[in-house]
Amino acid sequence: MSCTGCSVAIGEGTPTGCGSKGNCMTGGCNRLNTFDWLADLPVPLEQRFLIHEISFKNGLHKGFFKNINRLDLMTGDMVVVSTDNGNDVGKVSLSGELVKLQIKKRKMKITDDFLPILRLAIEKDLEKMQEVRSKEGAVMLRARVIARELQLEMKIGEVEFQADNRKATFYYTADDRVDFRELIKQFAQEFKVKIEMRQIGARQEAGKIGGIGSCGRELCCSTWLTDFKSVSTGAARYQNLSINQAKLSGQCGRLKCCLNYELDTYMDALKDFPEKADIIDTKAGRHYLVKTDIFKKLMVYEMHGTGKQFPLTPAKVTELLTQIKAGEVVESLDAFKVYQEVETEIEFDKVIGEITLQTIEKSEKKRTQKKRKNKNKGPKNQNTQNQNQQKAASKNPQQQNNPNPNNQNRNKNKRRNNRNNNNNNPKSE
């Protein structure tokens, strides 16, 4: 989508803090975007599903509301809904049959009581909402200062004002239980609204703030992930990843949720690999498992003290273990070794210590000397010759009048020859 139609943009131009210049992968700057692919389906007004999904504050949170007045609503319409403490303004994110799937996903029932949608939002409602939302940043900073003065071990990550400016919700994270009774009193005196404190987890906080992950994409928790499952370091071990907390941790400070995405695939592939196969004893010596390649289905063993490696398939390792358990003596792993193509190494010359700064300077001097010689052979050398001739002519003006004095002698010789020829020839009478 373009920046002019972005929901985060204030006025015209690029939205504040947008680094993608309007080319978002999710189709906008909203959190937890949903695509209503049945929005253009023509359904009579009497047969439409009356419950709609409403998104608040660019997807910060969503809720289900009932269209009791049977308004002709479409996805993207701004509406005024009724809440427990006044009215709020939200955006219709889903409508129709897709809402039933979302209700089922949240383990709710269609027969539950839902708050009503009052009317379509007018320009006055939107202006008031923008006015209220514009002060949320300053309120959050002031709230952090008050919490620090009260020495409370908590972090306020997000503040949301209701569109009618009657209620403010403060989202915070804390490791332990926090007694914020005094904090609520000071917040109410400072901000003159009803205060609600809502505790969230570290992953939920990262989803509300948003950002770009190490993969270069928007955070999963801010675009589509809502069900946060526990992630352990065992998921990294099964995938043969190095246990590096800096690389395995996300922006929330916890292990990345994406470690669980391919875990089931790795677990299915590891079923073909035998267990308790770290050591294999043969007559040649003891071999240790040094590498397991899940995709190539290879188990690489290294003989102790020699460094010689033996790549084996899981089936061969299982066969070896059964033979050893039966009491048979295995000579070596050469008979079970899988043939691998030897990769040709790129050859290079070791010139460490042979090249010094002096040799480099000498080679540069030779190059400059060659360049100078080539320049002297060019047209500049001809110009210098002409200049030398002019200087010599200025010193000898006779030579300048007759640049080649030998020409006079040549003419004299020609005249003499002509006279002799005339004398030898008889005159005709």
Q: What is the CATH number of the domain that holds 182?
A: 3.30.300.20
Quick one: pLDDT at residue 132? 92
Do 262 and 282 lie in a common domain? no
Query: H helices within 114-258, ranges in order?
Result: 123-133, 136-149, 181-191, 202-209, 220-223, 233-238, 245-248
- 340: which 2 tokens? 């691998």
Contact indicator for 336, 320 with CB cutoff of 8 Å: yes
Quick one: pLDDT at residue 136? 92
Do 113 and 25 lie in a common domain? yes
Which residues lie below 8 Å from residue 313, measured CB to CB, with a gap of 6+?
A: 297, 298, 299, 338
Do 265 and 280 lie in a common domain? no
Three-state secondary-structure class, residue 404: coil
| 69, part of any domain | yes
Strand spans (E) along 377-423:
none
Do 263 and 277 lie in a common domain? no
**What is the domain count for the chain?**
4
| 345, part of any domain | yes
Contact indicator for 52, 94 with CB cutoff of 8 Å: yes
| 397, part of any domain | no
| 191, part of any domain | yes
What is the mean pLDDT, run by run of 10 residues, along the chain of 429 residues? 44 48 50 72 79 86 90 90 91 88 87 90 93 92 94 92 92 90 93 93 88 89 86 89 89 92 90 87 88 88 86 89 86 74 59 62 70 62 56 53 52 58 50
Quick one: pLDDT at residue 261? 92
Terminal Cα-to-Cα distance of the chain (whole angstroms): 119
How far apart CA 148 and CA 186 sit, in angstroms, is 13
| 421, part of any domain | no
Quick one: pLDDT at residue 338? 72
Please name the residue that has the structure tokens 């790129």: 346
| 100, part of any domain | yes
Do 109 and 73 lie in a common domain? yes
Backbone angles phi, psi at 40, to 5 degrees: -90, 10
How far apart CA 118 and CA 60 sit, in angstroms, is 21
Do 280 and 308 lie in a common domain? yes
Out of 67, 89, 118, a domain closes at: 118
Count the residues in the chain: 429
Do 200 and 256 lie in a common domain? no
Do 197 and 245 lie in a common domain? no
Quick one: pLDDT at residue 27? 47
Please name the residue that has the structure tokens 């035998």: 274
Do 55 and 100 lie in a common domain? yes
Do 104 and 192 lie in a common domain? no
Nearest to 116 by CA among 82, 74, 164, 162: 82
Do 279 and 258 lie in a common domain? no
| 338, part of any domain | yes
- 314: which 2 tokens? 């899981």
- 324: which 2 tokens? 């050893």
How far apart CA 152 and CA 180 sit, in angstroms, is 8
Out of 118, 144, 165, a domain closes at: 118
Nearest to 333 by CA among 291, 300, 292, 297: 300
CA distances from 400 to 159, 181, 336, 388, 391 (A): 101, 115, 100, 13, 11
| 28, part of any domain | yes
* Cα of 405 vs its chain's centroid, Å: 86
Q: In degrees to the nearest 10, what's the CA dihedral of 316, 318, 324, 330?
A: 10
In the beta sheet, which residues pair with residue 56? Answer: 61
Out of 332, 360, 388, a domain closes at: 360
Residue 339 is part of which domain span?
A: 273-360
Quick one: pLDDT at residue 382? 53
In the beta sheet, which residues pair with residue 293? Answer: 298
Do 137 and 71 lie in a common domain? no
